[in-house]
Amino acid sequence: MGDSPMKGQQLVMERRTALGLAGAAMLMGATRGWAQGAGWTKVEALAADFLAKGFSPGVAITAARDGQPFYSKGFGMANLETGAAVTPASVFRIGSVTKQFTGAALALLEAEGKLSLNDRLAKFLPAFPGAAEVTLLQMLHHTSGYGNYTNQKNPADFHSFGRLNHDPQALEDMMREQTNPMFVFSPGTDWRYSNTAYVLLGRVIERVTGAPYADYFAKRLFAPAGLIATAVDNEADVVPNRASGYSAKKGDPKAFVNADFISMTVPGAAGNIRSTTEDLCRWHSALFGGKILPPAALKRMLQPGVLNNGKLPMVPADRAKPDEKKPMSYSLGLFTQEIEGRKFIEHGGGIFGFISAMGTFPAERISIAVLTNSNAQEREGYAAAHKALVDTANRAAVGLL
């Protein structure tokens, strides 16, 4: 559920694709109200190449201003067994793009006077290890020091509990049992991505509201933002236009298998939302446009986290280029960076069978979402091709190409 997906998929069902037949057949889907230009021509060429090389069966891309799409298109296949094409209405699991919804929910609860982000976790989950030492804000900023339950030395350990449904208390117990080590540094002294922290934050929302966090998200986030197809996912739900998730077939560079099953109770508030590219653009428009949070709460949400010494954390070695040392700007479930001098607020995600990227240029009020239904990162060239596709879409949206 990190901004890179969980690994170790087992092959459960094989399905060879026709992705080698790139060309007109690959550029299926729908385009609505989109503005063509040299930038988008390049995006479409990269999308076709991404599919032709076997990196994903399908991809959806939307760019919108004030939540209104000006480019919105699907490429390739949403389901290899039925032949359904990807369209802007295709519903994908979004992995850790979920985290910003969790951050917004907690910022809103603070604005309502129901908690303080400076509260210790012990106020809500007193029995959890280290809860008396860690604040909600540190957990949101990934500076709590909590380890990551998805980083198992033996991937089979994750798969064994990932297939089971867990009630909220069982999920909390699982965080206690599976987060090893529990702490990777003292709270507030460093930065490390922690899915454990965000799963626990979902439990905090439930303790405060007395209801499933999915209910709070639906009423206070999804509905005010005008989201049409977004929900906390449940694998039992019958979802119109649901895209199926796939993994790479070992030994065949362009074939796929169905992604491993994972209960959506397991990623929890760290990564279990489903959505569409157009809904995600509507979400960012509503969030940054002040429709979800009052001004002070929005400012709080977008304020980068600092360490106990008052300084921004440094980018961890596993996320930096060799010899690169620069500060990390991470707020409540969102990274902030610059693209050619323009502020860009974003987050990516990954979960079995899906990779997501979502970001906004706030000054231009332009949002871009790119969703794919495969997590075939082990294929040679995947990382560079995915980065090129997302980066090019971001730049095309604001006329930088």
Q: What angle do CA 180, 186, 191 make, to 5 degrees?
A: 80
Element (H, E) at 169: helix 168-178
Nearest to 202 by CA among 242, 246, 171: 171
Residue pLDDT tens, the chain, 401 long = 655 433 333 222 233 333 333 333 344 444 444 456 789 999 999 999 999 999 999 999 999 999 999 999 999 999 999 999 999 999 999 999 999 999 999 999 999 999 999 999 999 999 999 999 999 999 999 999 999 988 765 666 666 667 767 788 888 887 888 788 999 999 999 999 999 999 999 999 999 999 999 999 999 999 999 999 999 999 999 999 999 999 999 989 899 999 999 999 999 999 999 999 999 999 999 999 999 999 999 999 999 999 999 999 999 877 766 667 789 999 999 999 999 999 999 999 999 999 999 999 999 999 999 999 999 999 999 999 999 999 999 999 999 99
State both tokens at 196: 């454990």
pLDDT the model gives residue 128: 96
pLDDT the model gives residue 2: 57
Q: What predicted TM-score, i.e. pTM, was given to this entire model?
A: 0.91
At which residue do the structure tokens 């960076």 appear? 337
Q: How many C-alpha atoms does 31 have within 13 Å on its Cβ side?
A: 10
At which residue do the structure tokens 């040679």 appear? 380
Q: CB of 2 within 8 A of CB of 193?
A: yes
Non-local CB neighbours of 87 within 8 Å, separated by 6+ positions: 29, 30, 60, 74, 78, 241
Cα separation, 212 vs 32, whole angstroms? 36
| CATH code linked to domain 14-340+382-397 | 3.40.710.10
Non-local CB neighbours of 155 within 8 Å, separated by 6+ positions: 7, 8
pLDDT the model gives residue 159: 64
Q: CB of 382 within 8 A of CB of 50?
A: no
At which residue do the structure tokens 């610059």 appear? 338
> Hey, what amino acid is at 11?
L
Q: CB of 225 within 8 A of CB of 293?
A: no
Cα separation, 346 vs 339, whole angstroms? 11
- Phi, psi angle pair for 197, to nearest 5°: -60, -45
State both tokens at 367: 């949002």
